[in-house]
Structure 1
Amino acid sequence: MAREREVGTLWIGGALSWMEQLCLKSFVDQGQKITLFSYEEIPNVPEGVIHRDGREVIDTDDFIKYESKDSFALFADLFRLHMIKQNPGMIWIDTDVYCHRPMEYDSDYVMGFELPGEYRVNNAVLGLPADSLILNDMLSFTEDRYSVAPFLPKKKQKEFRAAREAGHPVHVSQQPWGVWGPMMVTHFTHAHGLTDKVQPLDAFYPVTFRNRMKFLQRASVAEGMISERTTALHLWASNKREMGKRHDGLPPKGSYLEMLTARHGIRVREAPLKGRGKSAFQGGLVDEITLDQVESFADLSGQARSLALAAHGRFDCQVQIVDVNNEGQPPEKQSEWVDEYRQFLLDNEVPKEKISIIRDLGALRPVDVLANLRGFGDGRKVKYLKPFLDGMMHSDTQMFMDIRKGSGAFPFLRDYGESEILSTREENAKEVRRVRFARSAPSIVQNDDTWDAIARRLAGEDGFYRPGPEGHSFLYVPRSRDTLVVTFDNLDITMTKREDRRPWGYSFIEAQGWSMLGVLAGGWTWYREPWVAEQFDDLRDSGFFKQFKRVVFYGASMGGYAACAFSPAAPGADVVAISPQSTVDKSVVPWESRYKAVWDRDFTGRYGDAAEVSRAARRVSILYDPYEPLDASHAARFTNDNVQHLRAPLLGHRLGTSLQQMGILNPIILGALSGDLGQNEYYRLLRARRDAPRYQRELFNRAVESGHKRLARRLGEWVLTRNENPAVRRGLRKL
């Protein structure tokens, strides 16, 4: 009877790519027990793989690398020796080793020659007796991180000895690649006379490193090189570089790797290649997106299609292809690459209704993720990026871009937000940095003559316009004496060009024939400029609000805070606030980690703590997602008897956008502003969320994360009877 063997491996680096998933799952599918060690949570380990803490083997946070390649392979070389020592009989395999058929070797010695001539021994597959002399000798050798290995080339040994004698010994991390890997294993194998224990070349390495790209050619090429003696098959992780650079991070069509991913049900677009060592691939940037939800993705340069695919695979988002030239203008004719880009997405299961092509700058809208790889700031002048920063970035947008040294991009971006360097590479003798950019609180924009003229025209002869400091202004547009709606800008509106702005909710309120008092801000001020409070005092004292039968204060996020906070100026008014903050006073809400730009503002006084001062209103309707922890904490502070909590589970902080996508924002807000929206009617309208893909996806994911797989399966099957939800369908495949 064949001996049942367990294999083990190590992963450092967050989520697995499809290549690691493929290799791990191949052992599970072949019925071979496999353990994955790691030092962090890994979100996408294939089912059936045993996951253990690496500290059981080596309790450390010192993950040494080969500095020349920025690779954890050096630590993995050390880890495998300790794993074998502490787990007798366990065979080490690299995470790029595929199980062609189970390894059932009787001997504890499991290793293979990697080159013709049968001299060099690789350690991608390594099994040794736990009490063997060779293992003990290698463990002893690795205890000295400054040793001069006797198996290094003579010239290199001489160089290292000279450095040591001069008081500057060379650390192992600065020594040649493989010094604790194949070079060391080869040396000690021959030193102990164990070459008869080594498996022939075709056991693990029938496709040698030199021939590694055979795996990227038609499947029959690699198949023809595999023999009956092949068990574990080294796929060579260095193939990632070729696929990342030339194949969008995907296995080439018709290749051996594509055949294997299909055989084992690996969804490659959901686990993109992230690069190896200093290589950084586009698709892997999806792991750098720190947003909980992504509804929209846009590519400015046409160079991020693998990231677009990965983003859609993870978030089921819309993908916008923006066709502009080097000056940021749409070309007269559609660029040739656009159709190819679109077809690539279609070929990889992105529905056509999720893809749009933008060739009109007037059609630009804010998106959640913006890609500008090899574009403005690299191959294109960064100054032409400005209209896209203004038109496509809201307060939470994340942009990924490449910045070439000398382009002036870093100083240019400094006025807009903050850049975090993710990786650095060299191209054409120039340093290029890949960064994640996020908008910071915009600089305060003061009122100017252009906006003043627009505002006065909107106000007309019977209205008024009052400009103030920090870009604040009051714009009164009279219509009906029945209802006045007082609205406040949110964060995104403050980022809009002054000449393009209208007060929050302007068109909607105009359509109802209601009068409007729009309170505008020149930045992320939370309206804590004393002048704003003075204006509300003046309007209150002059009897301005008393001329209307109903007064409603309305806003979202920052504007939602202001709607609640300034409602005492019109006692008895109604308040409608979407995802509001109760205050941003850190002494009151120390758990509020957002909006650092206003932490030093004064939130005290008669219009300070919105949860307290809004008790003067007739009714305060708070719309919020109870699963957004910070929003829920703020909502919980509103405890007065006049408060109506309207929960919108799993729809996020940008609740208005979610409700709009469901087609129920207008009736909800109309009912709330009219004073007719009660809880029964609200929750009746909210039933529409049951057909909303985002809600379905979030509900399904929560069932899975809670361990209720049976419930998740039933829910997923129900969802797919109502509509095509790719995210849920993918989730069901994993159950």
Structure 2
Amino acid sequence: MAREREVGTLWIGGALSWLEQLCLKSFVDAGQRITLFSYHDIPNVPEGVIRRDGREIIETEDFLKYEKKDSFALFADLFRLHMLRQCPGMIWVDTDVYCLRPMAYDSDYVFGHELPDSDRINNAVLGLPADSAVLADMLDFTADPFAVPPFVKPRLRAEYEAAALAGQPVHVSAQQWGVWGPMMLTHFIRAHGLTDRAQPLDAFYPIPFPERIRMIRAASKVEARLTGNTTALHLWASNKRELGRRFHGLPRRGSYLAKLVEAHGIRPELAPIRGRGGELFESGLVEALELDRVASIGDLGGTARAAVLGAWLQHDCDIVLIDADRRGEFPQAESRWVAEYRAFLEANGVPAEAVRVVRRAADLRPVDLLLNLQNFGDRAKIKHIAPFLRACLHSDSVMVTDIRKKSGSYPFLNDFGACETLSERDDDGIPVTRALFRPKAPEAAGDAGADPDWAAMARDLAGPQGFFRDNGLHSFLYIPRGDTLVVSFDNLDIAMNKREGRKPWGFDFIARQGWSMLGVMANGWTWYRDPWVCDQFDALAAEGFFDRFERVVFYGASMGGYAAAAFSGAAPGAEVVAISPQSTVDKAVVPWETRYKVVWDADFSGKYGDAARVSGAARRVTILYDPYEPLDAGHADRFTAPNVVRLRTPLLGHRLGSSLQQMGILNDIILGALSGQLTERDFYRRLRARKDFPRYQKELFQRALDRDRPELARRLGRYVLARGDHRFIRQRMQGL
């Protein structure tokens, strides 16, 4: 009777790609017990895989890496030796090893040749007796991370020895790649006379490393190499780079890998390959941006399929394909890439109605995220992007763009906004930077004065009893009504381009209550750090403007929330209602605030600078925030005065106002807060509506997965799906 074996492997933490999911599930489906050791949460482990804490084997948070490749392979080389010592009979397999049939080897010596006509041994599949001398010798050798390996080339060995003699020994992390891997294993196997115990090439490596690309070509190229000896097949994780660069992080259609994922029910589009080493692929681009919400994404020229698919999977966003050529012109007939692009999206689950194709300038609309990859500024002249920047970006948008050295892109784009480097690559010897572009206020791009449409509208709204003042960058609109004054802070671009009626936030809502309104508008993402704004508040305070009212309430969200708290200092005793506010964006005060680079150079000093300090003079400061958004929570924690009331909205994100609006409870909450009648009890009673809110359900479900609680996720998934469809949860449930 064949010996029943268990295999073990390691994943430090973080989500698996479909390749690791495939390999783990292949052992489960073959009926072979497989244990996955880890140190951090892994949200998407296939069912049936045994989970164990890596600290049972090595208690550490210091994971050795090869410096040049930013790879945990070095720590994995060490971990497997300790696992074999502490788990007798277990066979180590890398997470890119696929199980063709159970490994039922009687001997504890399980390893194989990795190259034809060579005695070199690979350690992707490795079994050794726990008490063997060869294992003991390797553990002794790896106990000294500065040891000079006797098995590297003489020139390199001499270099390491000279460094050691000079008192500067070379740490293993700076030594040659694989020094604790196949090179070391082969050396000690030879030293102990165990080479004849090695399995033949076709056992684990019928496709050797030099031919690894076969894995992503036609299935027949791999199947022709498989034999009756093949039990576990090394798929070579280095293929992930090719898959990520050329095939959107997904298995190539018709390849052996595509055939395997179909056989095991793996859905690659839910876990595409997002990066390799330090290189980020397009499939992981949107996730890496860590954007709070993307309602719409545009692909300018059709060069970013993988990024768009990733955005849709993460945000369920609308997709806009902009069919423009590299001169910035729209072709008379639909470009060939459009149909291929649509087919790709639909093949990966995107419904046709979520995709819109734009082929006329008149049909361009602002999107939250614009992608300009390998296009204007890289392979096409940057000047042709100008009309798309004007038409496709609102002040809360971001664009990811590729910038080729000496293309003139930086000075051109600096007239429209600011760029932040995301990554760099070399394209035929020419450096290309991938940058995150944020638009800046229109006046900084050469426009003088306020929007003329807004100025005319504002003067009309103010009427003869009110007033409108502006300096091009900011404006004040006062509309007198009753004895309560609401001072609101808004972004002009959002009001004019994204809000029906093109009016300041809450205009009609405030009017219905009979309240007076002072609307302060920023013409861009300025955080109101303009001396003119401070002067206006000083003047209003000096003339007794705020003293005319029985109640004064300052209101705003995010940037506006900062301003509401900061400028409340002009009216001591006023109330503040702030949604997801920043306390300041002064890097000297909040060095952990990594957002809003566009305003990092602004001056946050002065009496209206630190909102957490200034708002101490208010009667009450009500802050709504998500405690699970670390940066928002950090700002909320800085408001320490006794007048502060924190209302927690778990898992609703930074833009929780839109979430509350979609839940149908924002108006009641804001009305209660502005009128001074909202109690904590009332707030949390209304917040119960989140139980039926899709975003909250999604975040709660994902949180259960992140905490390795699959059964809890299943129960929640069944609860949600019994009451209606939820695409995200339905798809993830298929993997559970």
Pick the TM interval, shorter chain.
0.7 to 0.9
Aligned to 1:656: 657
Aligned to 1:473: 475
CA contact 1:100–1:232 (8 Å) conserved in 2: yes
Aligned to 2:341: 341
CA contact 2:492–2:522 (8 Å) conserved in 1: no
Q: Which segment is superposed worse, 716-725 or 596-605? A: 596-605
Measured against aligned partners, the alpha-carbon deviations of 1:657-695 in whole angstroms (never above 9, x if no partner) come to: 334445665676678779998999988976765554212
- Superposed, 1:269-284 pairs within 5 Å as 269-277=269-277, 280-284=280-284
Alignment CA distance shift 1:624-1:259 (3 Å) = same
Aligned to 1:716: 717
CA contact 1:447–1:472 (8 Å) conserved in 2: no
CA drift at 1:406: 2.5
Q: Tell me the amino acid that sits aligned with residue 700 of structure 1.
A: F
Q: Which segment is superposed worse, 644-653 or 250-259? A: 644-653
Alignment CA distance shift 1:687-1:89 (3 Å) = closer
CA contact 1:32–1:102 (8 Å) conserved in 2: yes
Q: Secondary structure at the match of 1:715?
A: helix
Aligned to 1:432: 432
Unaligned runs of 5+ in 2: none
Is 1:728 equivalent to 2:729 in the alignment?
yes
- Superposed, 1:149-228 pairs within 5 Å as 152=153, 157=154, 161=158, 181-186=181-186, 188-190=188-190, 192-209=192-209, 211-217=211-217, 219=219, 222-228=222-228
Q: Secondary structure at the match of 1:124?
A: strand
CA contact 1:66–1:73 (8 Å) conserved in 2: no
Matches of 2:710 and 2:205, distance apart in 1: 40
- Superposed, 1:103-182 pairs within 5 Å as 103-117=103-117, 119-135=119-135, 147=148, 152=153, 157=154, 161=158, 181-182=181-182
Matches of 2:305 and 2:650, distance apart in 1: 33
Q: Secondary structure at the match of 2:345?
A: helix
Is 1:601 equivalent to 2:602 in the alignment?
no
Measured against aligned partners, the alpha-carbon deviations of 1:563-597 in whole angstroms (never above 9, x if no partner) come to: 45656878998865433456779999999786655
CA drift at 1:70: 6.1
Alignment CA distance shift 1:229-1:602 (3 Å) = same
CA contact 2:720–2:726 (8 Å) conserved in 1: yes
Alignment partner for residue 464 of structure 1, among 463, 467, 473?
467
Q: Tell me the amino acid that sits aligned with residue 310 of structure 2.
A: A
- Superposed, 1:225-374 pairs within 5 Å as 225-277=225-277, 280-291=280-291, 293-328=293-328, 330-359=330-359, 369-374=369-374
Matches of 1:613 and 1:441, distance apart in 2: 31
CA drift at 1:140: 6.5
CA contact 1:560–1:579 (8 Å) conserved in 2: yes
Q: Secondary structure at the match of 1:489?
A: strand
Alignment CA distance shift 1:204-1:449 (3 Å) = closer
CA contact 1:417–1:441 (8 Å) conserved in 2: no
Matches of 1:250 and 1:243, distance apart in 2: 6
Q: Secondary structure at the match of 1:519?
A: strand
CA drift at 1:459: 0.8
CA drift at 1:434: 3.6
CA drift at 1:19: 0.8
Measured against aligned partners, the alpha-carbon deviations of 1:64-122 in whole angstroms (never above 9, x if no partner) come to: 5384x665545544554454455443322222111122222121211123344464433
CA contact 2:13–2:41 (8 Å) conserved in 1: no
Aligned to 2:15: 15
Q: Tell me the amino acid that sits aligned with residue 606 of structure 2.
A: D
Q: Which segment is superposed worse, 227-236 or 375-384? A: 375-384
Aligned to 2:54: 53
CA drift at 1:359: 4.7
Q: Tell me the amino acid that sits aligned with residue 302 of structure 2.
A: G
Q: Secondary structure at the match of 1:376?
A: coil
TM-score w.r.t. the length of structure 1 is 0.79
Alignment CA distance shift 1:638-1:251 (3 Å) = same
CA drift at 1:21: 1.9
Matches of 1:44 and 1:4, distance apart in 2: 27
CA contact 1:528–1:602 (8 Å) conserved in 2: no
Matches of 1:582 and 1:392, distance apart in 2: 31
Q: Tell me the amino acid that sits aligned with residue 651 of structure 1.
A: L
Matches of 1:492 and 1:603, distance apart in 2: 27
CA contact 1:5–1:91 (8 Å) conserved in 2: yes
Alignment CA distance shift 1:332-1:687 (3 Å) = farther
TM-score w.r.t. the length of structure 2 is 0.79
- Superposed, 1:688-699 pairs within 5 Å as 689-699=690-700
Aligned to 1:520: 521
CA contact 1:491–1:557 (8 Å) conserved in 2: no
CA contact 2:560–2:581 (8 Å) conserved in 1: yes
Alignment CA distance shift 1:35-1:411 (3 Å) = farther
Alignment CA distance shift 1:492-1:522 (3 Å) = closer
Aligned to 1:615: 619
CA contact 1:66–1:177 (8 Å) conserved in 2: no
Q: Which segment is superposed worse, 108-117 or 580-589? A: 580-589
Matches of 2:513 and 2:336, distance apart in 1: 46
Matches of 1:628 and 1:444, distance apart in 2: 31
CA drift at 1:271: 1.9
Alignment CA distance shift 1:403-1:567 (3 Å) = closer
Matches of 2:551 and 2:479, distance apart in 1: 16
CA drift at 1:627: 4.8
Q: Tell me the amino acid that sits aligned with residue 108 of structure 1.
A: D
Q: Tell me the amino acid that sits aligned with residue 122 of structure 2.
A: N
CA contact 1:17–1:273 (8 Å) conserved in 2: yes
Q: Which segment is superposed worse, 348-357 or 99-108? A: 348-357
CA contact 2:583–2:611 (8 Å) conserved in 1: no
Matches of 2:283 and 2:667, distance apart in 1: 37
CA drift at 1:354: 3.3
CA contact 1:219–1:254 (8 Å) conserved in 2: yes
Is 1:535 equivalent to 2:536 in the alignment?
yes
Q: Secondary structure at the match of 1:98?
A: strand
Alignment CA distance shift 1:495-1:22 (3 Å) = farther
Q: Which segment is superposed worse, 296-305 or 127-136? A: 127-136
CA contact 1:472–1:521 (8 Å) conserved in 2: yes
Measured against aligned partners, the alpha-carbon deviations of 1:356-391 in whole angstroms (never above 9, x if no partner) come to: 334566766665544332233322334555566666
Q: Which segment is superposed worse, 510-519 or 646-655? A: 510-519
CA drift at 1:11: 4.0
CA contact 2:24–2:46 (8 Å) conserved in 1: yes
Alignment CA distance shift 1:471-1:141 (3 Å) = same
CA contact 2:57–2:82 (8 Å) conserved in 1: no
CA drift at 1:427: 1.9
Q: Secondary structure at the match of 1:657?
A: helix
